[in-house]
Chains A and B, each alone.
Chain A
């Protein structure tokens, strides 16, 4: 049983060039046994939040509570070595001067409740079995591959059976295939052990795949929190929509039953507080945009020119110019469309929900560069 509560967390770093407000008022709760992900671009404060939970940073405001115990806040600060948690670092932090066994046994040997050596052996073996590293006990740690080091770091974090597991971008240093596999294993392991987990990543696919709940972070704060489905389907801000998946942004004045865009009116449903005359924003996921070679005279249908049609195996990635707006759509791979031809796009009304326009616009290119960074 472990429930993590973080309230109004604040952390500022002092550097040569002044203070960096890394985390400004972050609050969230992780229910017992849940997998909770902090998702956001590089530099938004995810790692800092996680390190505050671990006790590696001393926040200047807010409280962190594990069940009833205050870890930080109200004048209390429990040092990291007295917090009951396991942590996996982005660099894995495998100790190069120890072998696999000693790496995993370390938490059992240094903590408050020391285990007997027979018990240490048993629990280390269990932990190694959990991550599929049985039989490598005597291997010097530097001789492990990247994937094995990652598993080792996980075994070390789990061996104490801590109440809380913290992971900072654990998959980001693996190659794509291995990342895919570790993602599945990690999900299975967490579900099986039911350990309360906080996970940090900048990869939206990872976040959606692994998590019970996701918090989207931006500039040191949480902009939206919800289940993966809610986050993807009902982004509450332009930033969240843009960061969690691809989207076409249609911005315009709110009119009766829709917004004025693409040289006409796009019909959509509207939050109650958004009134005609205000600025509205409609976010369309590519898979919710229908592309056809001929008009069907349905609502929300617009004519345009097919600029790009790229075959990606399981779908056809299309970019359609409607006037000077580029609309991103995803068509079935069997559809026969040629570049440059006239096409019609439809935005089915049931997928169209407008939000208040907060001025955020997608920065597709910048984002795809940014993702390579970490």
Chain B
């Protein structure tokens, strides 16, 4: 690892021209995508319509309002609760699946990836139908079965919001923690066991402390995701009167006249909080890397024998899948097949495909589907290509500014989608380029938002590639471009494809930037779902959601099949 990570100094002398031009282009691009909108956001928040010059009036307005402090505490509680729920669920799952001999662990692994591709908007809507106090299926079932008079659950509450968002994020924690557990040298635990430590003690004294940096950084990322999330605050938080930063920014811009001043100064506040989180996260991951001890052999460490605890563990997994995958999907399927929604068993008599016909025949559906597909493909391609070059510069060269490039490409992880959209709106107000309401501005937003994922995939893969592989090509007379094309890209192919699929999926799911940036011609599927839900067309929403989830599963499945056939193995 260490030697592979060392930069190759050949890069500069071997490519006098492209060695300067390409990094310079990449840097300019990055600046345009990140620093420019952020500066415009700050600048915009310092201006008041119809007045000259800069002023702190917006901040004074917003931050003297006691309501803002309720926002702050709501946002904070919501983000912390989400992080705690997602982290404990995801970590417990990862431990059970990765480190114990629970039955069917392989099958489980495949299934947990499904919720990863379900858009947040879809799972939020599903939870409304499952656990709303008035119409929730679960509530009705409990009330009927136990003879209760009041609904036991209420999704329209802070706890309900935490529940919906925490469950939605838990598969991500699962993946991260599985990675951390795999990166851990199994002999660290074995050394504890052969020293006389029993399994629980080993877990407490060795496993958890070693996973601590990964856990802490996972918690921070979940906290940031919670702060930034839009779907749950908008669809559950607003009706429940639990406003948080994102829903408040959204409402400021939906009001008439639009309140750019509040949106801007709230956006800057949110940005500041998540920037602290990101900075802390960066510190923690560096510590995590120091702890990571890579094992020599690729065998899975011996699993913990659960004995009679195997069945409770399996029950936990099954329950999780029921709650996170099966129930949300079934409830949407149910609603999508009803002429109108009443949570009652009698409705099974009246199932109909009418909603699907309506949705598919609506011209907006096709337009949105086309736009979403186009956007996802271009975003994934541009983001992966751009970050491949940037990652190469950061990992391989000794260019003076490369750390800044790294930072810039990572920065958007801390920019909430909604705040980015506000920033882009400010930018387009100042520079009247006619791209507002087009697909172009959406691509810009998406690429900015998802660059960090591409960056992480690409630089991790690049670190694994020994730099001598490229040096050998250069020594054989290949130019930089040829080396990149013939050596770097083929070797990175598996991770490029994996990253591409991921960015594709998250682009289709994207809502929080789109919601402020789309126009009638540039609507996307997630926005259509959101819009239909807000306007109360629940059965059409359900049908469209089911269609979207199914097509995402099919697309991801197919891409993975195809790419595994053409990809280079290993890496």
Contact = CB atoms under 8 A, between A and B. Distances in A.
B268 interface: no
Contacts of B206: 95
A90 B295 CA distance: 10
A80 B193 contact: yes
A93 B187 contact: yes
B302 A57 contact: yes
Contacts of A57: 302
Given A110-B201, A142-B290, A93 B190 contact: yes
A192 interface: no
Contact of A110 (B187, B188, B195, B210): B195
B191 interface: yes
Interface string A68-112: 000000000001111101110111010111000000001100111
B196 interface: yes
A83 B193 CA distance: 10
Contacts of A106: 192, 195, 197, 205
B196 A110 contact: yes
Contacts of A83: 194
A160 interface: yes
B185 interface: yes
A85 B194 contact: yes
Contacts of A85: 194
Given A56-B193, A56-B194, A142-B290, A93 B188 contact: yes
Contacts of B16: none
Contact of B194 (A81, A90, A91, A112): A81
Contact of B293 (A79, A86, A90, A96): A96
Contact of B296 (A86, A91, A97): A91
Contacts of B191: 87, 89, 93, 95, 153, 156
Contacts of A95: 188, 191-192, 206, 209-210
B403 interface: no
A44 B514 CA distance: 59
B198 interface: yes
Nearest to A47: B297
A200 interface: no
B195 A97 contact: no
A171 to B, nearest CB: 15
Interface in B44-101: none
Contact of B197 (A86, A87, A110): A110
Contacts of B210: 95-97
B59 to A, nearest CB: 43
A86 B194 CA distance: 7
Nearest to A111: B196
A93 B294 CA distance: 11
Contacts of A153: 191
Contact of B185 (A82, A87, A91): A91
A17 B206 CA distance: 32
Nearest to B209: A97
A329 interface: no
A154 to B, nearest CB: 12
Interface string B201-221: 100011001101000000000
Contacts of A55: 193-194
Interface string A54-73: 11110000000000000000
Contact of B205 (A79, A96, A110): A110
Interface centre among B195, B197, B198, B293 (most CB of A within 10 A): B195
Given A89-B190, A97-B212, A106-B205, A111 B195 contact: yes
B436 interface: no
A142 B289 CA distance: 12
Contacts of A107: 195-196
Contact of A91 (B187, B198, B209, B212): B187
B291 interface: yes
A153 B29 CA distance: 50
Contacts of B296: 90-91
Interface string A125-143: 0000000000000000010
Contacts of A160: 195-196
A20 to B, nearest CB: 10
Interface centre among B191, B197, B296 (most CB of A within 10 A): B191
22 contacts: A56-B190, A56-B193, A57-B302, A80-B190, A81-B193, A81-B196, A82-B196, A86-B195, A89-B191, A91-B187, A91-B296, A96-B291, A96-B293, A97-B209, A110-B195, A110-B196, A110-B201, A111-B195, A153-B191, A156-B191, A156-B195, A160-B196
Interface of A: 54-57, 79-83, 85-87, 89-91, 93, 95-97, 106-107, 110-112, 142, 153, 156, 160, 166
Top-8 shortest CB links A-B: A111-B196, A107-B195, A93-B191, A93-B187, A110-B197, A89-B187, A87-B194, A97-B209
Interface of B: 185, 187-188, 190-198, 201, 205-206, 209-210, 212, 290-291, 293, 295-296, 302
Given A96-B293, A97-B209, A160-B195, 20 more contacts: A54-B190, A54-B194, A55-B193, A56-B190, A56-B194, A57-B302, A79-B193, A80-B190, A80-B193, A86-B195, A93-B188, A93-B190, A95-B192, A97-B291, A106-B195, A106-B205, A107-B195, A111-B197, A156-B191, A166-B194
